[in-house]
Structure 1
Amino acid sequence: MSCLVRIDNYRDSFTDSEKKIADYIVQNAESVVKLTIHELASETDVSPSTITRFVRRLNYKSFSEMRVELARSIDNSIVSDFNKVIQWSKTMDELSQCFISTITSVCEDVLNLNDLSKFEQATDWIKDSDIVYLFGVGASSLIVEDLQQKLMKLNKRCIFNIDSNFGVQNAVLTRENDVVFAVSYSGRTKEVNIAVRRAKKNGAKIVSITRYGRTPLSELSDLCIYVPNVEQSARLAAIFSRYAQMFIVDILFVNYAKRIENKPEQLLSEYRSLLGTLKE
């Protein structure tokens, strides 16, 4: 079990000081592996002995052991530069296997980070809502569009505009019986957070799909569905975080299909028939 997953699993048992340490590690994993125990204590404003107790609560023998495990987790999951990806192996077959292995690991981490009750709750809110509003820009807009298309195939009313300015304006239309899905890996996308803040003011329920940790978006959300911290903030492309987000979308889609009164296969058949008329 990776260090970050351990932190999530033990979070409920942490003291306030330990939660402060946990939040700092989750949000600054890359820099923590370079710190001494005294430097981490200084950064989190706790004593070195508190760090030691925190480490032992995670079932590590020492701070050094935890730091090594954290570094190993980062090495296994973080891809900060595309050149690093293509240098994974010398053959296409080996590269493909590295990709498959990492994608599998990322999807498993999604399930480790999120209790299944989160997906159940989000699905209930979709089912009971009048309209599903979706917000996401850049790479996140691909995730949002995928969720929109899947829900619309099952006759769920969805509103999304790839233009972030119109997205913010759409937030003005939200009401208490609506649910918002906001996608932002960093949790700090200005256009998304402005829209979410307005929707929350209007009484809409907020579901975010974002990286694990405390961010402006997670603070605004009623329900956070986390993806693992698999991309550095200075990454060239959102590679593996995209797979994690798509995995979440697929789980929501299947769960919603199981909840609706109409048979999903009938709705999907009608949808394909309608599209077929475009080819006539």
Structure 2
Amino acid sequence: MNCLTRISQYYNSFTKAERRIADYITQNPEQTVKLSIYGLASAAGVAPSTVTRFVHNLEYKSFNEMRIELVRNVDVKTVNDFNEILQWGNNKDDLNQHFLHNITSVCQEALNINRLEKFREAVSIIHRAKLVYFFGIGASSLIVQDLQQKLMKMHKCCIYNIDGNFGTQNAIMAGPDDVVVAVSYSGITREVNLAVQRAKENGCKVIAITRYGHTTLSELADICLFVPNVEQVTKVAAIFSRYAQLFIVDILFLNFVNESGEDPAKMLTDYRSLLLRLKE
């Protein structure tokens, strides 16, 4: 049962103050997912303790759990907006504006459902790892290659093969001193999950970039960086999910650079010098 449906069904049992919270969330779901408990309390004109009681009355364990569930409601609106874009293809101005709106929306939602601490924890594991093994095929291979190239320029050893069969073989070599970064929007890609499972059996830590929800990949991962459910798993092409995944990759990379304490320009000197020799 999604968040807005719960609010509707529990509405008659709420106190007057709780109904003010319910009304605000129902009318402003996109704004609510950006607020803290104190922010929602202020917006609804109630005490923070009332928000906490309201969350528990909806049978959520925490405010963050309710907010994540609410994001899924917002995701449905995003999908509907995408369908409208396809129908409005004859109007280029509308097409461009709605497309840009959805990109902004999906990136903001990616921030809302992932705590900053998760990025820092993931970066810390990558920073300490001897080798970084990447698993991802199809559209996800573009995301993997983007992060791989970024990390290698920062002198981080990475292993990736776009062929899923070779990826599974690579998993056999992954060990306790390494880390796996698996990318799969659906979370059910067989080649990726098989490789992740084998690496995990070897004692390897697993970081997953996948859609929000309970999937095989999210259950296997030690850390999940979630992408909003903005597209069907059986999509024709990855569009908005791709932007969300690349956004997550960029946040990971920026935090990695920050934690390394190194000057990125200085670290790229050898790389650029070698490239210049190719032009000689």
Question: Which residues of 2 match residues 190-209 of structure 1 at below 5 A?
Answer: 190-209=190-209
More deviation, 188-197/90-99: 90-99
Would the alpha carbon gap of residues 100 and 263 (structure 1) be closer, same or farther in structure 2, given more than 3 Å must change? same
Q: State the AA in 1 paired with 2:136.
A: G
Which residue matches 2:78?
A: 76
Q: What is the distance in 1 between the residues matched to 2:72 and 2:174? A: 41
2:72–2:228 Cα contact (<8 Å) kept = no
Q: What is the distance in 1 between the residues matched to 2:207 and 2:162? A: 19
Cα offset for 1:98? Answer: 1.1
Which residue matches 1:212?
A: 212
Would the alpha carbon gap of residues 70 and 211 (structure 1) be closer, same or farther in structure 2, given more than 3 Å must change? closer
Which residue matches 1:249?
A: 249
Determine helix, strand or coil for the equivalent of 2:230. Answer: coil
Which residue matches 2:133?
A: 133
The TM-score, its normalising length taken from structure 1, stands at 0.72
| CA RMSD of superposed structures (Å) | 2.7
Q: What is the distance in 1 between the residues matched to 2:251 and 2:80? A: 24
Would the alpha carbon gap of residues 70 and 156 (structure 1) be closer, same or farther in structure 2, given more than 3 Å must change? closer
1:228–1:241 Cα contact (<8 Å) kept = yes
1:153-183 Cα shifts (integer Å, max 9, x gaps): 0000000000110000000010101010000
Determine helix, strand or coil for the equivalent of 1:276. Answer: helix
Cα offset for 1:70? Answer: 6.7
1:121 and 2:160 correspond? no
1:5-54 Cα shifts (integer Å, max 9, x gaps): x99xxxxxxxxxxxxxxxxxxxxxxxxxxxxxxxxxxxxxxxxxxxxx99
Q: Which runs of 5+ in 1 are unaligned?
A: 8-52, 59-68
Determine helix, strand or coil for the equivalent of 1:238. Answer: coil
Q: State the AA in 1 paired with 2:274.
A: L
Q: State the AA in 2 paired with 1:117.
A: E
Would the alpha carbon gap of residues 151 and 79 (structure 1) be closer, same or farther in structure 2, given more than 3 Å must change? farther
Cα offset for 1:265? Answer: 1.4
Cα offset for 1:72? Answer: 6.3
Q: State the AA in 2 paired with 1:136.
A: G
Q: State the AA in 2 paired with 1:249.
A: V
1:79–1:232 Cα contact (<8 Å) kept = no
2:75–2:228 Cα contact (<8 Å) kept = no
Higher RCO (CA 8 Å, separation ≥ 6 residues): 1
Number of residues of Structure 1 aligned to a counterpart in Structure 2: 222
Which residue matches 1:189?
A: 189
1:164 and 2:161 correspond? no
Would the alpha carbon gap of residues 70 and 163 (structure 1) be closer, same or farther in structure 2, given more than 3 Å must change? closer
Q: What is the distance in 2 between the residues matched to 1:217 and 1:73? A: 21
Q: What is the distance in 2 between the residues matched to 1:268 and 1:177? A: 26
1:106-146 Cα shifts (integer Å, max 9, x gaps): 00111110110000000001110000000000000110010
Q: What is the distance in 2 between the residues matched to 1:158 and 1:111? A: 26
Q: What is the distance in 1 between the residues matched to 2:72 and 2:167? A: 38
Which residue matches 1:233?
A: 233
Q: What is the distance in 1 between the residues matched to 2:206 and 2:192? A: 12
Cα offset for 1:93? Answer: 2.9
Q: State the AA in 1 paired with 2:252.
A: L
Q: Which runs of 5+ in 2 are unaligned?
A: 8-54, 61-70
1:144 and 2:151 correspond? no
Cα offset for 1:274? Answer: 2.0
Cα offset for 1:241? Answer: 0.4
Q: State the AA in 2 paired with 1:221.
A: A
Q: What is the distance in 1 between the residues matched to 2:151 and 2:203? A: 22
Would the alpha carbon gap of residues 245 and 72 (structure 1) be closer, same or farther in structure 2, given more than 3 Å must change? closer
Cα offset for 1:263? Answer: 1.5
Q: State the AA in 2 paired with 1:123.
A: V
1:31-90 Cα shifts (integer Å, max 9, x gaps): xxxxxxxxxxxxxxxxxxxxxx999458xxxxxxxxxx9766413235787xx5433353
Would the alpha carbon gap of residues 114 and 94 (structure 1) be closer, same or farther in structure 2, given more than 3 Å must change? same
Give the percent of matched residue pairs that are identical in Structure 1 and Structure 2. 54
Which residue matches 1:93?
A: 93
